[in-house]
Amino acid sequence: MDDSRNYPGMIVPVGHVEPSPRRVRGLVGGRCVFDTTDAKYVWAWPGYPQYCIPLRDIAEGLLTDEGKTMPLGIGGGRRQTLKVDGLTRSGAAWVWDDTAPEEIRGSAGFRWEAIDAWFEEDEQVFVHPRSPYTRVDALRSGRTVRIEVDGEVIADAPSTVMVFETGLPTRYYLDRVHVDWNRMVPTATVTSCPYKGRTSGYWSVRTSSAVHSDLAWAYDFPTRQLSPIAGLVAFYNEHVDLFLDGERLPRPAEVNRAQWEKERRA
């Protein structure tokens, strides 16, 4: 076992299907493509689910069968083009076929980026559905945190807000006054998280020997559940030396979410 992983892993196997009690909607160009209270979660790859949408809850005439089948990891589906008010998005969706788990056969899946805005109830959701098996907790802590890059101190904080997210390393959010901003270089990078929201800033770190790209980020306006991290700065502990109460933590293995995405689009 990799002793650098000191956090809980995912417990849901690939192929698992669950009903969702949430109203799920998707908009393209301001038009509602689907609106359902009967969506299902399906884990077609590790880490997080996707939504399956009943065909009856998709606006009529928006999907066109492309006459192609596509492998989806836990079965296959018929590839669909989405056409909405002059917008055409090839391969935007699929209809699960008889090789898929029985509970989702005949329902549709959508590439997340093919839909302009996803909503669970009346709140917009980013990147992927929020897993019912994932916890994300932000806890204030009086434990000290020091960040070093190339042996140089980038941040040294007397306290932190620790974010514990199922399946991911613990993240340590620091007050900005404890960061050496002479070494921080703002970038144009923006990322989103279904649990925390959209980042408001990313920074590279400049040391005397190199510039390390996009090592730190902040959420100025996180979701209400993660409000304790508002305005604080976190660093990828995969790529920096992080000392907690003076003890250097092993760098966690990098989570390869890009590979999950590649596998599902194959």
- The number of residues in the chain equals 266
**Residue that wins the pLDDT comparison between 5 and 139:** 139
**Alpha carbon distance 199, 232 (integer Å):** 11
Asked which of 104, 132, 160 is the last residue of a domain, the reply is 132
Residues 114 and 143 in one domain: no
Residues 148 and 257 in one domain: yes
Q: Number of structural domains, the chain?
A: 2
Q: Which residues have C-beta within 8 Å of that of residue 126, sequence separation ≥ 6?
A: 118, 192, 193, 194, 197, 198
Query: Over pLDDT 90: what percentage of the chain?
Result: 85
Average pLDDT over residues 108-121: 97
Partners of 50 in beta bridges: 42
**Alpha carbon distance 252, 68 (integer Å):** 41
String of DSSP letters for 170-209: -EEEE-GGGB-GGGEEEE----EETTTEE-SEEEEEE-SS
Residues 201 and 103 in one domain: no
pLDDT score of 6: 73
pLDDT digits (tens, 9 = 90+) for 43-63: 988 788 999 999 999 999 999
- Flag the least confident range among 7-16, 31-40, 45-54, 229-238: 7-16
Average pLDDT over residues 19-44: 96
pLDDT score of 122: 96
Residue 249's pLDDT band (boundaries 50, 70, 90)? very high
Residues 157 and 236 in one domain: yes
Q: Tell me the residue range of the domain where 157 lies.
A: 136-261
Residues 144 and 240 in one domain: yes
Residues 116 and 230 in one domain: no
Asked which of 132, 166, 199 is the last residue of a domain, the reply is 132
pLDDT score of 254: 64
**Alpha carbon distance 98, 96 (integer Å):** 7
pLDDT score of 262: 39
pLDDT digits (tens, 9 = 90+) for 181-236: 999 999 999 999 999 999 999 999 999 999 999 999 999 999 999 999 999 999 99
Flag whether 76 is in a domain.
yes
pLDDT score of 256: 47
CATH no. for residue 207? Answer: 2.170.150.40
For residue 161, the tally of other CB atoms under 10 A from its CB is 19
pLDDT digits (tens, 9 = 90+) for 255-266: 544 443 433 333
pLDDT score of 4: 58
Determine if the pTM surpasses 0.75. yes
Residues 148 and 105 in one domain: no
Report the chain's C-alpha Rg in angstroms. 21
Is the pLDDT assigned to residue 1 strictly greater than 60? Answer: no
Asked which of 132, 166, 191 is the last residue of a domain, the reply is 132
Flag whether 107 is in a domain.
yes
Average pLDDT over residues 73-90: 95
Q: What is the mean pLDDT of the chain?
A: 92
Residues 140 and 127 in one domain: no
